[in-house]
Structure 1
């Protein structure tokens, strides 16, 4: 067994008990314990970590700890580019897609509205969320700290805000989503892609007042819902604009 000293910075202190916030923590470590193992043992999900320094040098989450190591752990940076410092990855390569836990239905709907592939079902268990994250390289969104510590979850985010609009704003800032957004390209109800459709094809599904004034429509081939640029579209456009600020 070895001892190492940890110091957590910024919002990572939210995960620590009061007596450990903002100060050095010297603790025994199990034999061959890695930085990831001990960071999570101290209460911080690895998905919330962007940069780890061990004795002043950049280190991965899989580095075995040695006697006397000093470990500095930093959250995701939003104002500084630390890519040259080899931070821990916060997003999977390629397209970004999410799976939201049972408490984040409102956020999931807003993410779909912004065009992001987002699985949400309030009956999903923790095991199912973990499996979706591992099999499809989805970013887990949750207010359950323990869920983010599961071995099969490589990418995730602890959602701090309470209201869906505030949650969306935080995610846009956290992951830099504004440039990736493709608003109004997914069904809000079942997450399927929308397609443009001629008015004549959906005329029998339109309220008369909509048919009289609207000419551009999208539809979901999975559930059959039809979308147009009405008052709801205008309100949601404003929500997305505020999220991207």
Structure 2
């Protein structure tokens, strides 16, 4: 009788564990679906920077209120095949591996989709756990979001200065104007500081940012002329 009486309890425990596993599996999907239409209030990086003593400057703007030149600039700087891949650029990953092996500094293998997944849902760091979660979230946002939404989210949460997040806040911080008013040169400078926005300056930039911005500005014409930005139109 005791064994028989314990059986329902064991079943309840198994069902409870199963329900928890289902909830854990569905939580990322739910988060991605919510943010397909709702901007994230804060990201983990923003919270981390606040605890490190930095301010918080962020202003959400729809993609139609951000200069198309900035879209072209970040594609040129960060992910030229953004409109062609499904979240992962394996050619860029291979190039990054070869650059690291040779001791050269490249842009890295992360796509805009991967960076968006990390920026919106995860924390900074290089652990394999975070990279694995990033890959999973990248698949989800590429499945449930349009490329235009991915770009819009990226341009609203990317770190673009000390305590500065997103195109609108960065445009006002560095150039005292709206993101819709950015010139090609200013857009290129914002894209140029993305690898290290807490060290580099978009206004009164140093030699490295000036060189990188000139190269980005030249590549922006290729992005536009070859239709490499069509998915964001």
TM-score interval (norm. to shorter): 0.3 to 0.5
**TM-score, with normalisation over the residues of structure 1?**
0.32
Q: TM-score, normalization: structure 2?
A: 0.33
Structure with higher strand content: 1
Structure ranking higher in helix proportion: 2
